[in-house]
Amino acid sequence: MSNIDTEHSQEFEYKAEMKQLLHLIVHSLYTHPEVFLRELISNASDALNKVRFQQLTDRNILNPDVPLRINIALDAEEQTFSITDSGVGMTKSDLIDRIGTVASSGTLEFFQRLKTENKPFDGNLIGEFGIGFYSVFMVTDKVTIQTRHADPDSIGYQWESTGEGKFTIEEIPLEERGTKIFFKLKDDAKDFSDDDRVKGVIKKYSNFADFPIYVGGEEVNTISALWHKNKNEITEEERTEFYKFISNDYNPPLGHLHLSIEGRVNFKALIFFPDTPPLNYFRVEDLRSLHLYSSRIFIQDDCKELLPEYLHFVSGVVDTEDLPLNVSREVTQSSPVMAKIKDVITGRILSLLEDWAENESEKYEKFFKNFGLLFKTGAGSDFANRDRLINLLRFESSKAEKGKFTSLKEYVDGMPEDQTEIYYLSGDNRDAVERNPSLEYFRKKDIEVLFFVDAADVFNIPHLHEYDGKPLKSIEKADIDFKPDEDSPNDTLSEDDIKSLISFFNEQLGDKVEDVVASKRLVDSAATLVVGASGMDRQMERMMKMMGGQIGESKKILEINPTHPLIKNLAQLHRSKSDEAILKSCALQLYEGALLIDGNMETPTDFVARMTDIMEQATR
């Protein structure tokens, strides 16, 4: 960041990416411009929470007696808007690092895409992307912030920006701690200088804010600590509004849990399951999860200790009397009270999911589709609830249409009596596994195969040795219990022909393969590669490599199909003219073709050159 000093103020330039993002925000049309108000109130409320927390932890702060509140002042004539909070305020470096810099590269890309697709911007998105403050540029061209940090020896600053490329910071005298943000509204947003309009928006978005909000001297928000009410005293509408308020989601939730627990541990909780994942659901760290309160006082945002990571997609509040008010982060991390609360909440969430799975399968499928990727990791990490979690897993399967799921229980219930193993096939996606030649035998015999098509499935395999006493087995492994095919027992090569063709293939391929064997699994394909009984599942191997693991490439077994016309031709040719060059080419070509299907071919050049040769001979 470059900066230029003048006599009074310092000028800073936004980083290039930030400039682009701001340009998009400033020059767009919005469907929900009123969201700026929610974002400013939420920032003010965070700042007030921080100061209250400092007060509780006995820290010396500036103006300890100033009430914690938010004031909004409007002037319809002048078209101006101002919001003042008595919160923690900002230092100069906060103004530069927190206000002056935002947004991950993903955010910019997302906004650019909306722009190229010519879609109007939904103001709600701005809040979701954690660039809340800049939503003011939906309604104004120039913003001023005056702020003084709560440290007694802090000084006041004024920050100004038109959102175009630069911002300025100058020192100003300020008596009180906190932050005032003010601006003149654009003409098309002048309704936000009207008291009633602003009060309406606050009731809609910020009714549950923890601090009183005054507009024109009148307190607007009235409802608080909804979770302390009795379940039947809360209307669905209230609950939904509360969810929207704490989660920044604009869809109603998929479901909720309202807990009031007394006994070994005491707490109240209101927990919501989002209907759809937030747009910025790239990483678990971005999820907001549960807020911790102690006797109605906000303690901690996004408290990771209240839930295992695989449940961090829920949002809500937990309020307990069992923790002291001045509890520090260190205490919440190691407190036995927290551990007990976590156990109870985890159990209740799993019970609710079990109930959906049993009685509301569509709802459960929707949940699983949206949050399965994270949720599934629980089966490998939460040993105390392992069995419940395994029963809640859902998989795609060769007998379910794409996008539909089956459970391990359903799989086992549908197994014919003589089947002793649970079969699965892993791959990058449904289409890739559907094309895998290993499936041919199972299709023909009408045996169901589970499809493990996402990363979490692959990581769960090592934890899922068996279900209901039946081992899980990859159909890419060599040691599958194939039943002989009664339909076409004669349509195959003689033992001798197979043996000599196999030893020829072995000579040609040498170190490339662990072995060459006659296949019982292939129906339509001529050859495929499988993993030895002790080898690592192919998808697993790829994942390990992607994660930078040092694993030796395990050699594969090449299976050739003795009923395939090409293999028969080759056997015949080998019997009559074992030194034909085409035999050697075909052996290599079949091997490399199988590699190609696996996605493991490193250099296609030889493969293509050989194919050209073979075609030339075939057309001679």
The residues that touch ligand ADP, with contacts defined as CB under 6 A, are 39, 43-44, 47, 85, 87-90, 94, 98-99, 102, 130-133, 179
By the 10 Å C-beta count (0-12 exposed, 13-18 middle, 19+ buried), 432 is classed as: middle
- Enumerate helices (H) and strands (E) in the chain, giving the number of each: 21, 23
Q: Which tokens in the block code for residue 432?
A: 């890739």
- The least distance separating ligand ADP from the CB of residue 482, rounded to whole angstroms, comes to 58
Check if the beta carbon of residue 168 is closer than 8 Å to that of residue 16: no
Nearer to ligand ADP, 131 or 311 (CB): 131
Nearer to ligand ADP, 51 or 439 (CB): 51
- The least distance separating ligand ADP from the CB of residue 303, rounded to whole angstroms, comes to 17
CA of residue 125 relative to chain centroid, distance: 17
Nearer to ligand ADP, 87 or 308 (CB): 87
Nearer to ligand ADP, 133 or 245 (CB): 133
Nearer to ligand ADP, 137 or 375 (CB): 137
Q: Which residues contact 587 (CB under 8 A, 6 or more apart)?
A: 504, 505, 508, 509, 570
- The least distance separating ligand ADP from the CB of residue 293, rounded to whole angstroms, comes to 20
- Kind of pairing, strands 218-219 and 315-320? unpaired
Nearer to ligand ADP, 106 or 130 (CB): 130
Alpha-helical runs (H) found in 162-226 = 195-205
Nearer to ligand ADP, 133 or 505 (CB): 133
- The least distance separating ligand ADP from the CB of residue 131, rounded to whole angstroms, comes to 5
Q: Which helix (H) or strand (E) holds 270?
A: strand 267-273
Vertex 63 angle, CA 223 and 59, to 5°? 90
Phi-psi region at 362: left, alpha or beta (left = phi > 0; alpha = psi -120 to 50): alpha
Check if the beta carbon of residue 474 is closer than 8 Å to that of residue 425: yes
Nearer to ligand ADP, 98 or 463 (CB): 98
Vertex 373 angle, CA 368 and 377, to 5°? 105
HEC assignment per residue over 160-180: EECCCCEEEEEEECCCCCEEE
Q: Which tokens in the block code for residue 245?
A: 């308020």
Q: Which tokens in the block code for residue 151?
A: 């440290």
Nearer to ligand ADP, 22 or 265 (CB): 22
Nearer to ligand ADP, 68 or 353 (CB): 68
- The least distance separating ligand ADP from the CB of residue 47, rounded to whole angstroms, comes to 3
- The least distance separating ligand ADP from the CB of residue 248, rounded to whole angstroms, comes to 9
Indicate the residue type of 84.
T
- The least distance separating ligand ADP from the CB of residue 94, rounded to whole angstroms, comes to 6
Closest CA to 348 of 436, 256, 428: 256
Closest CA to 389 of 346, 334, 339, 344: 346
Nearer to ligand ADP, 42 or 508 (CB): 42
- The least distance separating ligand ADP from the CB of residue 381, rounded to whole angstroms, comes to 29
Q: Is the dihedral of CA 169, 172, 177, 181 positive or negative?
A: negative
- The least distance separating ligand ADP from the CB of residue 204, rounded to whole angstroms, comes to 19
- The least distance separating ligand ADP from the CB of residue 48, rounded to whole angstroms, comes to 8
What are the start-end ranges of the E strands in 149-266?
156-161, 166-172, 178-185, 213-215, 218-219, 255-261
SS3 call for 344: helix
Give the largest Cα separation in the chain, rounded.
Answer: 102
- The least distance separating ligand ADP from the CB of residue 83, rounded to whole angstroms, comes to 8
- The least distance separating ligand ADP from the CB of residue 168, rounded to whole angstroms, comes to 17
Query: Within 13 Å and on the Cβ side, how many CA atoms surround 339?
Result: 5
Nearer to ligand ADP, 103 or 379 (CB): 103
Using CB positions, name the residue nearest to ligand ADP. Answer: 132
Q: Which tokens in the block code for residue 97?
A: 């690092």
